[in-house]
Structure 1
C-alpha cells in the first residue's frame, strides 16, 4: 500500500501517506481552490430556480492553467482553426461556456474540498503518516481532483505531449522545475493506481 492505492474489500481504496505527502497534496488542493475561485455564494440569488439559470462567463479564462481546466467545447484545441468556421465555433463555444462553466467550477471545487476534508480527517499513525481510506464515491472525487492537479501542473510545465513527459525524467536536480516535475509524476502514479481500484 505505501505510495499507491489498493482496492478495499467491498469497494473503495486505501493508500498509506506520510506527513510530507499529506502536506503536499493538501497544499496543491488549496492552491487549486484558490485558482478556480470562490463560488457565487455571496451574490447568488436566493431563489434556487433563478440560481440554476445564472449565466457564467462567455470568454475563455486568461490564465493558461484555467484555459486547460476549462477548455472551449468547440474547435480543435491542438489543430489549426478552420477559417471558414472560426466565428461560428467561437460563438458556439461562448454560448456553451456561458451555461456550463459555473457548474464545472463548482464540481472542481467540490472535488478539491473532498480531498482536503479527507486529509484533515486522517488519524496519524505512530510513524507520523496515516492510512487514507476512501469510499467508492470519495475515490471518484479524488480521481477528478488528481486529474485537475496534474492538468494544472502540466500546464505550468508546458507539457503538451507524451514526449514532453519523457524529457522531464531527464531534468537535472538543480533545475528549478524539478520539484514540480516530481509532484506531477507522483500524482500521476497515484491517479493510475486509484483508477485500477475502480475497475471491475
Structure 2
C-alpha cells in the first residue's frame, strides 16, 4: 500500500506508489473524467465574452453520483434559486473537476514505471511522485470527487455507524469498491494533513 504523503519544499507533497496503485488510481480518475464529461461547452470560435458567460444546465443531474458532485445550492425548498445558481456555476465547477482529474492523470503518466526491471525484481517498484503546491490542491480535489462518487455508488451514509459496509465478505461484488473507497480516504486524509500549515 502507498505510504502517506510527505511535505516537500515549496508547499508541495510527495508520495510513493507502486505500479498497481498507480494503475488503479489512473483507472478511477479516467472513469471520473468520463462521468463528469465535457459539460455544455460553447461553440469554438464564438465571441470570447459569450464563452465567458455561457449558461450551464438548470436541472440537477439524474445520476446520483453526478448529483452528489453537482448538488443543488438551495435544496428542494428553493428550486428556482437552485436552478439559476446551477445555470451560472455548473460549467465552471465541471471544468474545475476535469482540471483536477487531469492533473492526477498527468502526474501519474509523467511518473511512469520504475527505472529498471531489476528494481522491480528486488521489490523496489515504488515510484515517488513529487507534486507542486498547485498539483497537490488538484489531487485533493480529485481524491474528494472520487470518494464522493464511490461513496454514492456504495450508498455510504453518515448513519452507517455499525460499519456493515466495511465488513463485507470477500466474495461480495462491492468489496473492491469499498477497498478503493477506504484507500482513497486514507490518501485524502494524508494529503490534507501534509498540506496543513
TM-score strictly above 0.5: yes
Does the 8 Å CA contact 2:60/2:72 hold for their aligned counterparts?
Answer: yes
Distance in 2 (CA, whole Å) between partners of 1:69 and 1:95 is 17
Residue matched to 1:120? 109
CA distance 1:165–1:42, change in 2 (3 Å): farther
For structure 1, the 5+ residue unaligned runs are 76-80
- CA apart distance, 1:42: 6.8
Residue matched to 1:193? 190
- Alignment length, in residue pairs? 189
Which deviates more from structure 2 when the two are superposed, residues 95-104 or residues 120-129? Answer: 120-129
- CA apart distance, 1:39: 4.7
Does the 8 Å CA contact 2:12/2:136 hold for their aligned counterparts?
Answer: yes
Residue matched to 1:37? 37
- CA apart distance, 1:46: 2.6
* Residue 173 of structure 2 corresponds to residue 176 of structure 1: yes
Residue matched to 1:163? 160
CA distance 1:67–1:2, change in 2 (3 Å): closer
CA distance 1:165–1:132, change in 2 (3 Å): farther
Structure 2 length normalisation: TM-score?
0.90
Structure 1 length normalisation: TM-score?
0.88
Distance in 1 (CA, whole Å) between partners of 2:163 and 2:130 is 32
Does the 8 Å CA contact 1:153/1:184 hold for their aligned counterparts?
Answer: yes
Measured on the aligned residues, the alpha-carbon RMSD in Å equals: 1.8
Q: Pairwise mapping of residues 63-102 of structure 1 onto structure 2 (< 5 A)?
A: 63-75=63-75, 86=77, 89-102=78-91
Instruction: Please list the CA deviations of residues 59-106 of structure 1 after superposition, one character each: whole Å capped at 9, or x if unmatched.
Output: 00000000000000002xxxxx6xxxx3xx000000000000000000
